[in-house]
């Protein structure tokens, strides 16, 4: 499972306050803890700070990269910020994100053209978020076609079927699971990812819903997620599910995690 650590996002109060005081140690601790917990990428998002996002983002990239050995996920609504970020990373990053919306694709396409970065591609178009699996899959196919024309390889494309809340429609989880399964079958070589916690929005005991949905999604082919890697029970579910799905030869990862004290029943 490719884990995109979501914690460094200024929409979170503690993160925004740390940014206000330019607390280098705070951010380096946040990044290092996520890597130690099993993150594959550290997501950096200052999008809530509209007036200072550009400078904040570049400062954060420098600070975070001093203490991690894994790549950055460059996460911003601003194409200008993403382009600057791409020039200031020392490992191939993940860019979050592009869509089929005409304006957004025209902004982000030139930034990633020539296979400069991996990309999260949201399966939405000018009509917004699709409300059924066939439309989600159709958008996924179109995104892959357009991104491949720009020179990206499938293994660098992370398709996001856009998980929608169960509290809005109790079929939303089933729609997401069907979309993940179909995408992974039809578009061999791509990844699927998601902002997993969206599924539980508006519900009590959100962590329970999120952890259970993760296992179901993995069984349907999900191989990446934007989550909090410090949620030990979530990470335990991921390690255990990968073992049960036959992705852990001789159960080595599971046994190793147990010996290292990483599993939390």
- Tell me the mean pLDDT per 10 residues along the chain, length 265: 98 97 98 97 97 98 98 98 98 97 97 96 97 98 98 98 97 98 98 96 97 98 98 98 97 97 93
Give the pLDDT score at 154: 97
Residue with tokens 């349907």: 220
Does pTM top 0.95 for this prediction? yes
Alpha carbons 151 and 8: distance in angstroms, whole number: 30
Give the pLDDT score at 96: 96
Give the pLDDT score at 43: 98
Give the pLDDT score at 69: 98
Question: What strands, in cross-sheet order, belong to the sheet with 191-192?
Answer: 191-192, 157-160, 118-122, 94-98, 72-75, 41-45, 2-9, 224-227
Whether domain 65-259 has CATH 3.20.20.20: the reply is yes
Alpha carbons 255 and 248: distance in angstroms, whole number: 10
Residue 165: count of CB within 10 angstroms of its CB: 17
Range list for CATH 3.20.20.20 in the chain? 65-259
């Amino acid at each position: 499972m490719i884990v995109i650590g979501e914690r460094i996002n200024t929409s979170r109060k503690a993160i925004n306050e740390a940014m206000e005081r330019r607390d280098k140690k705070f951010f380096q601790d946040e990044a290092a803890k996520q890597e130690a917990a099993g993150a594959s990428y550290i997501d950096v998002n200052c999008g809530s700070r509209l007036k200072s996002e550009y400078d904040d983002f570049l400062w954060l990239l420098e600070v975070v990269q001093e203490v991690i050995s894994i790549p950055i996920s460059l996460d911003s609504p601003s194409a200008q910020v993403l382009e600057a970020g791409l020039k200031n990373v020392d490992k191939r990053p993940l860019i979050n994100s592009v869509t089929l919306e005409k304006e957004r694709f025209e902004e982000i396409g030139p930034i990633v053209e020539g296979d400069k970065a991996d990309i999260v591609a949201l399966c939405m178009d000018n009509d917004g978020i699709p409300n059924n699996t066939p439309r989600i899959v159709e958008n996924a196919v179109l995104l892959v076609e357009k991104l491949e024309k720009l020179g990206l390889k499938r293994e660098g494309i992370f398709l996001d079927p856009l998980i929608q809340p169960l509290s809005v429609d109790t079929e939303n989880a089933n729609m997401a699971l069907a979309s993940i399964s179909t995408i992974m079958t039809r578009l061999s070589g791509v990844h699927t990812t998601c902002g997993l916690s969206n599924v539980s929005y508006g519900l009590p005991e959100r962590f329970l819903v999120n952890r259970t949905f993760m296992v179901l999604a993995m069984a349907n082919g999900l191989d990446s997620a934007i989550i909090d890697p410090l949620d030990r029970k979530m990470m335990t579910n991921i390690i255990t599910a990968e073992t049960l799905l036959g992705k852990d030869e001789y159960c080595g990862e599971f046994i190793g995690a147990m010996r290292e004290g990483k599993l939390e029943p």
